[in-house]
């Protein structure tokens, strides 16, 4: 079914978007009649180029595209990063890695999390590098690889203070972990080409956090020295996430792993302004009904908001099933015709209501912007994160899978990912 056929089958009563961030709906395709995220690939390209300017010649760049590229869509984002010369890609699990391969990404891919040992054949078949974080897991993966007659590329993961996966490197475990790493490097069926750690608070610049990050780096370098004395040298050593890439150039080593900055968002307020970042994602929905309610009228579940005077209420087509948190009820705001409109009443599963009193001409089919710019006003993922006591990472990652992603480049639409329908490339 083509896009135009799909539009024709939508009942006439369902409104279609008239404008998207001030642009005619024709630019964005008129099938976008409910809620959608627009991803500007030019912003992705701009951001990765800014990151590359920070790193020294010879330092590789691993683009983190786990969680469907932080909700932006891994297929299109990875292609753009690949076009800009990213050396590696980072994902959470084997499904994400295989998906990248099937989408035509042939650069090295590192899985940060665990992969069941029985998938050793898949790791080898698709040339995927697996993080190895314990002796037990290394032995399981080695045995599975031997049984299949394959060799799995791997990076050792060490825990320098994150408290998550990895060989411990605190004073009481450092020597033992160095011996364990030496032992697993000799296991058949595994080829270790790298070693890495992950910082816990590199995005904080208070004295205690800086000392902790430097302590993590010191422990990482210490275990590398111990392993070097044992004749174990890794071609790729890496520890810098987005924040450390920005704040600690002396720690870049052989490769950095930018994630959130690729999408134009800062790891934290402490990191703001270091790079000229362009947010890539905007989030928009449609107004389906506009009505004037009388004083004493309650809005939405639980009667948490009541009109104290006549108010103009617009129902819009997004809800918590789309990733718009219920906690935003009576707290957030959206942009309608370039003006700020507060969310009133509780956010429903599929809809919510805005108070558009005083905004002239609002009618069904108009758009409401949750993240992005309309006129002179802008709403950001950071603002939404503050209202939900969260971080911008979570805001973009949780944009629901029934929200299509629309990809723009050079001012034109180049593709659509519709997770509940089909993916269309133009």
Task: Dig out the tokens for 139 from the structure.
Answer: 């032995």
* Cα–Cα nearest to 88, from 109, 69, 71: 109
Q: How does residue 420 score in pLDDT terms, banded at 50, 70 and 90? A: confident
Among candidate residues 191, 225, 229, 301, the one labeled active-site is 301
Q: Is 214 a catalytic residue?
A: no
pLDDT digits (tens, 9 = 90+) for 129-176: 999 999 999 999 999 999 999 999 999 999 999 999 999 999 999 999
Does the pLDDT at position 24 exceed 50?
no
- Closest alpha carbon to 191 in 116, 87, 120, 95: 120
Band (421; pLDDT cuts 50, 70, 90): low
20: pLDDT strictly greater than 50: no
Cβ within 8 Å of residue 46, ≥6 positions away: 276, 278
Report, as an integer, the average pLDDT of 298-303. 98
Q: Which residue out of 33, 66, 75, 157 is catalytically annotated? A: 66
* C-alpha distances in Å from residue 204, one per residue of 199, 244, 283: 11, 10, 28
pLDDT at 22 over 80: no
Residue 66 known to be catalytic: yes
pLDDT at residue 401 in the model: 93
Q: Do the beta carbons of residue 249 and residue 278 sit within 8 Å?
A: no
What gap in Å lies between CA 162 and CA 12, rounded to an integer?
54
pLDDT tens digits, 65-76 = 999 999 999 999
Q: What is the pLDDT of residue 422?
A: 61
For the chain, list the domains and their CATH numbers: 3-33+280-379 (2.40.37.10), 41-263 (3.20.20.10)
Residue 18 has pLDDT above 70, yes or no: no
Task: Outline where DSSP puts E strands in 16-71.
Answer: 19-20, 23-24, 35-40, 60-64
Distances (CA, A) of 290 to 36, 123, 281, 355, 401: 20, 54, 27, 10, 27
Per-residue burial over 290-322, b if 16 or more Cβ lie within 10 Å, else e, is beebeeebebbeeeebebeeebbbbbbbbbbeb
| CA 34, chain centre distance (Å) | 22
Q: DSSP assignment, residue 255?
A: E
Q: Please give the mean pLDDT across all residues of the chain.
A: 92
Tokens (6 digits) for 288: 């389906």
- What confidence tens digit (pLDDT) does each residue in 3-12 have? 232 222 223 3
Cα(109)–Cα(112) distance, integer angstroms: 10
pTM score: 0.90
Instruction: State both tokens at 122.
Output: 């898949």
pLDDT at residue 171, rounded to an integer: 94
What is the pLDDT at residue 30? 41
Q: Cβ neighbours of residue 250 under 8 Å, at least 6 residues apart?
A: none
The pLDDT value recorded for residue 255 is 98
Smallest Cα–Cα separation from 97: which of 85, 83, 112? Answer: 112
For the residues 248-277, what does the mean pLDDT come to? 97
Q: Are 266 and 260 in contact (CB under 8 A)?
A: yes
116: pLDDT confidence band, cut at 50, 70 and 90? very high
Q: Which residues pair with 417 in a beta bridge?
A: 405, 423
* Tens-digit pLDDT profile for residues 135-144: 999 999 999 9
The answer to whether 332 and 343 have CB atoms below 8 angstroms apart is yes
The pLDDT confidence band at residue 32, using thresholds 50, 70 and 90, is low
Which of 344, 332, 340 shows the shortest CA–CA distance to 386? 332
CA 425 to chain centre: 22
pLDDT at position 1 is: 29
Q: Please give the pLDDT value at position 423.
A: 56
315: pLDDT confidence band, cut at 50, 70 and 90?
A: very high
Beta strands in 67-189 (DSSP E): 88-91, 109-111, 128-132, 152-159, 167-168
| β 35-40/339-344 pair status | unpaired
In this predicted structure, what is the pLDDT of residue 14? 33
pLDDT at 13 over 50: no
Residue 17 has pLDDT above 60, yes or no: no
Mean pLDDT across 223-247 = 98
What phi and psi, each to the nearest 5 degrees, are found at residue 27? -65, -30
- For the cut 60, the answer to whether the pLDDT of residue 78 exceeds it is yes
pLDDT on residue 426: 60
Reference 30, options 6, 58, 61, 60; nearest CA is 6
Taking a C-beta distance cutoff of 8 angstroms, is the pair 414, 405 a contact? no
Mean pLDDT score, 43-55: 97
Q: Which DSSP symbol is given to 114?
A: -
**Strand 367-374, strand 333-336: pairing:** antiparallel
Q: Can you spell out the DSSP letters for 363-416?
A: -TT-EEEEEEEETTEEE-HHHHHHHTTS-HHHHHHTS-TTS-EEEEETTEEEEE
Beta strand 128-132 pairing with 152-159: parallel
In tens, the pLDDT along 330-354 reads: 999 999 999 999 999 999 999 999 9
Q: Using the predicted structure, report yes or no on whether residue 16 has a pLDDT greater than 70.
A: no
């Amino acid at each position: 079914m083509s896009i135009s056929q799909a539009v024709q089958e939508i009942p006439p009563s369902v409104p279609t978007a008239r404008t998207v961030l001030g642009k005619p709906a024709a630019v964005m395709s008129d099938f976008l009649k409910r809620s959608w995220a627009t991803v500007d690939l030019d912003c992705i390209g701009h951001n990765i180029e800014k990151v590359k300017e920070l790193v020294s010649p010879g330092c590789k760049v691993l683009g983190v595209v786990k969680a469907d590229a932080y909700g932006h869509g891994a297929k299109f984002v990875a292609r753009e990063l690949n076009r800009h010369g990213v050396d590696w890609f980072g994902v959470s699990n084997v499904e994400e890695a295989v998906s990248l391969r099937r989408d035509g990404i042939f650069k090295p891919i590192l899985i940060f999390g665990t992969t069941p040992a029985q998938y050793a054949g898949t790791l080898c078949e698709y040339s995927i590098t697996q993080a190895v974080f314990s002796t037990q897991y290394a032995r399981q993966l080695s045995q599975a690889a031997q049984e299949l007659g394959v060799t799995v590329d791997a990076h050792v993961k060490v825990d320098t203070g994150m408290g998550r996966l990895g060989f411990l490197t605190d004073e009481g475990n450092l020597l033992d972990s160095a011996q364990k790493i030496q032992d697993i490097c000799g296991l058949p069926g595994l080829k270790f080409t790298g070693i890495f750690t992950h910082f816990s608070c590199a995005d904080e610049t208070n004295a205690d956090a800086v000392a902790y990050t430097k302590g993590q780096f010191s422990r990482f370098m210490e275990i590398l020295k111990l392993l070097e004395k044992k004749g174990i040298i890794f071609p790729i050593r890496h520890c810098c996430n987005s924040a450390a890439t920005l704040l600690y150039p002396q720690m870049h080593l052989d490769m950095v792993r930018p994630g959130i900055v690729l999408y134009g968002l800062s790891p934290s307020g402490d990191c703001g302004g270091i790079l000229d970042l362009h947010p890539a994602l905007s989030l928009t929905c449609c107004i389906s009904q506009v009505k004037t309610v009388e004083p004493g009228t309650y809005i939405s579940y639980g009667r948490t908001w009541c009109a104290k005077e006549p108010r103009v209420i617009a129902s819009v087509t997004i809800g918590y099933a789309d990733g718009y948190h219920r906690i935003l009820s009576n707290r957030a705001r959206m942009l309608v015709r370039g003006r700020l409109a507060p969310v009133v009443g509780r956010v429903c599963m599929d809809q919510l209501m805005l108070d558009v009193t005083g905004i002239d001409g609002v009618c069904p089919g108009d758009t409401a912007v949750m993240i992005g710019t309309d006129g002179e006003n802008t709403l950001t993922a950071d603002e939404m994160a503050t209202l939900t006591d969260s971080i911008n990472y979570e805001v973009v990652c949780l944009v629901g899978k029934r929200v299509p992603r629309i990809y723009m480049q050079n001012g034109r639409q180049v593709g659509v990912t519709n997770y509940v329908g089909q993916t269309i490339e133009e």
